[in-house]
């Protein structure tokens, strides 16, 4: 086995092996081409009433229609934001503010359900909304990060106004059975909420390249998207709504985006966002089938070469096609990522938004209850450009790193 990996070391990679697509993806050439006119010649402000402004407004509205068609919703259900973090904030804070100010529900009479493995843009909101008097109830996940129906039923209450969770987890790649969880909430509504709807929001930032994102089959009311994760420009995302989900703004200024997201629209990014999302969803199935086969082969190589490897999260279809998250107990994986980088390999230990530096993965700690395992994670997120040769080279470098660490600790 080791001889096979040594053979690959003789063929030094001239290109870098990029295995951090969960954090950022390259811009597709079609997206760049769509954006270019709005970076150069079509520079008008969409709120202006002259010809240049009207052209910019037309581009924004055409993009809104394109997103709506792709996701199976009405154009007025598409709100452009700066990314997944802002979309999550607007969905949660905007909904709670509406219920308090327009429907007269006291914050102390509201409950929000989420999990402890959510993205920092959700987890950082917990103390903020709790400070208003809202109760946050955490649904427990199993050892693979999945929300079970029984666990969800346990925390639903007549005071529940919002359920929010990630469609696919950004660290361990667990894909939730969204439609089953939605059915559970709707069944509870029938007998416990006296006709009041529980709004369901999902964070789908990691989904468009690999999973279906049409809202009606999923059954959710709100979805957050970040096109920097699906070959679009960074700094742009969407909050998309199915049906009537009234919100109040969390930022104040002009009346853009139906008064819910003030500020001059970034026309080029919006055009790029619509193009990237549409392209991602057009062939997600073929892409997922291809990359998941490589993912599974990669995992096999890792576990064969490094018997101590622990896979975090589920296997098969319940895992994002491009996600590998492992623990290497007793190894400094923060240093391992630096070592990999020096050898031309980009990887990470956890979500980029969880911050750089040491510390354990709260996601893995919550799932496994094992601090040592949570302190020794490596996340490898693949793309259609990743090859089996790349996988073998990465395993070889990890073996080399392990040998180096063993030498230092003798």
Q: Domain boundary residue among 282, 311, 327?
A: 282
Asked if residue 166 belongs to a domain, the reply is yes
Angle at 88 between CA 255 and CA 315, to 5 degrees: 150
Spatial separation of the C-alpha atoms in residues 165 and 122, rounded to whole Å = 9
Q: What is the pLDDT of residue 401?
A: 93
Distance, in Å, from the CA atom of 163 to the CA atom of 138, rounded to the nearest integer, reads 10
260 and 324 fall within a common domain:
no
Q: Do 11 and 147 have their domain in common?
A: no
Report residue 112: phi and psi, to 5°. -115, 135
Find out whether 242 and 201 touch, Cβ atoms under 8 Å.
Answer: no
Q: What angle do CA 287, 290, 291 make, to 5 degrees?
A: 85
Q: Are residues 250 and 356 in the same domain?
A: no
Last residue of a domain, one of 226, 252, 282: 282
351: CATH? 3.90.1150.10
Together in a domain, 44 and 179: yes
Residues 34 and 56 occupy one common structural domain: yes
Q: Are 87 and 224 within 8 A, CB to CB?
A: yes
- What per-residue confidence (pLDDT) applies to 364? 94
**Domain end marker among 282, 307, 333:** 282
Residues 291 and 170 in one domain: no
Q: How many residues does the chain have?
A: 410
Predicted local confidence at residue 410, as pLDDT: 65
Residue 257, pLDDT score = 87
pTM of the model: 0.92
Whether the CB-CB separation of 380 and 146 falls below 8 Å is answered with no
**Which CATH number goes with the domain that contains 273?**
3.40.640.10
Active site residue 353: yes
Domain co-membership, 270 together with 350: no
Q: What gap in Å lies between CA 70 and CA 139, rounded to an integer?
A: 31
- Assigned domain for 69 exists: yes
| Number of separate domains in the chain | 2
Looking at the structure, tell me whether residues 277 and 291 fall in a common domain.
no
Residue at 190 is within a domain = yes
Which is nearest to 372 in space by CA: 360, 389, 358?
Answer: 360
In terms of domains, do 278 and 344 share one? no
Task: List per-residue pLDDT tens for the chain, 410 residues long.
Answer: 444 444 444 444 567 999 999 999 999 999 999 999 999 999 988 888 999 899 999 999 999 999 999 999 999 999 999 999 999 999 999 999 999 999 999 999 999 999 999 999 999 999 999 999 999 999 999 999 999 999 999 999 999 999 999 999 999 999 999 999 999 999 999 998 888 999 999 999 999 999 999 999 999 999 999 999 999 999 999 999 998 999 999 998 888 989 899 998 999 999 999 999 999 999 999 999 999 999 999 999 999 999 999 999 999 999 999 999 999 998 999 999 999 999 999 999 975 555 555 578 999 999 999 999 999 999 999 999 999 999 999 999 999 999 998 887 76
DSSP result, 255-268: -TGGGTS-S---HH
> How far, in Å, CA of 5 to CA of 384, rounded?
22
Q: Are residues 277 and 186 in the same domain?
A: yes
Whether 250 and 362 map to the same domain: the answer is no
**Predicted local distance difference test score (pLDDT) of residue 8:** 47
DSSP label of 164: E
Residue 24 within any structural domain of the chain: no
- Choosing from 2, 213, 230, 353, the catalytic residue is 353
> Looking at the structure, do residues 77 and 218 belong to the same domain, yes or no?
yes
Residue labelled with tokens 């998941």? 292
Domain with 302 in it: 2-19+284-408
């Amino acid at each position: 086995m080791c001889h096979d990996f040594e053979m690959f070391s003789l063929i030094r990679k001239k290109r870098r092996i990029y295995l951090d697509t969960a954090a950022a993806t390259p811009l597709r050439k079609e997206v760049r081409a769509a954006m270019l006119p709005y970076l150069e010649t079509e520079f008008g402000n969409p709120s202006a009433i002259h010809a240049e402004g009207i052209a910019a407004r037309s581009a924004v509205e055409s993009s809104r229609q394109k997103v709506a068609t792709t996701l199976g919703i009405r154009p007025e259900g598409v709100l452009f934001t700066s990314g997944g973090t802002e979309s999550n904030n607007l969905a949660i804070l905007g909904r709670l503010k509406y219920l308090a100010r327009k429907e007269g529900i006291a914050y102390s009479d509201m409950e929000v359900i989420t999990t402890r493995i959510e993205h920092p843009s959700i987890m950082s909101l917990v103390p903020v909304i709790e400070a208003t008097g809202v109760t946050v109830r955490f649904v427990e996940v199993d050892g693979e990060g999945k929300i079970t129906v029984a666990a969800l039923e346990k925390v639903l209450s007549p005071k529940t106004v919002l359920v929010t969770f990630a469609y696919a987890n950004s660290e361990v790649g667990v894909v939730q059975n969204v439609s089953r969880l939605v059915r559970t909430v709707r069944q509870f509504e029938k007998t416990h909420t006296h006709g009041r709807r529980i709004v369901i929001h999902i964070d789908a930032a990691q989904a468009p390249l690999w999973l279906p994102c049409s809202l009606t089959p999923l059954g959710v009311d709100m979805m957050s998207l970040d096109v920097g994760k699906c070959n679009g420009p960074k700094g742009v995302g969407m909050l998309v709504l199915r049906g009537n989900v009234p919100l109040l703004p969390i930022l104040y200024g002009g009346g853009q985006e139906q008064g819910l997201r003030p500020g001059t629209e970034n026309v080029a990014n919006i055009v790029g966002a619509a193009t990237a999302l549409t392209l991602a969803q057009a062939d997600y199935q073929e892409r997922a089938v291809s990359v998941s086969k490589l993912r599974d082969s990669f995992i096999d190589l890792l576990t064969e070469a490094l018997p101590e490897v622990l896979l975090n999260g589920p296997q098969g279809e319940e895992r994002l096609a491009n996600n590998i998250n492992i623990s290497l107990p007793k190894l400094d994986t923060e240093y391992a990522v630096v070592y990999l980088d020096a050898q031309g390999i980009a990887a990470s230990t956890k979500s980029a938004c969880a911050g750089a530096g040491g510390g354990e993965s709260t996601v893995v700690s919550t799932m496994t209850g094992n601090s040592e395992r949570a302190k020794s994670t490596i996340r490898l997120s693949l793309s259609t450009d990743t090859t089996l040769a790349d996988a073998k080279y990465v395993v070889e470098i990890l073996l080399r790193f392990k040998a180096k660490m063993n030498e230092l600790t003798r």
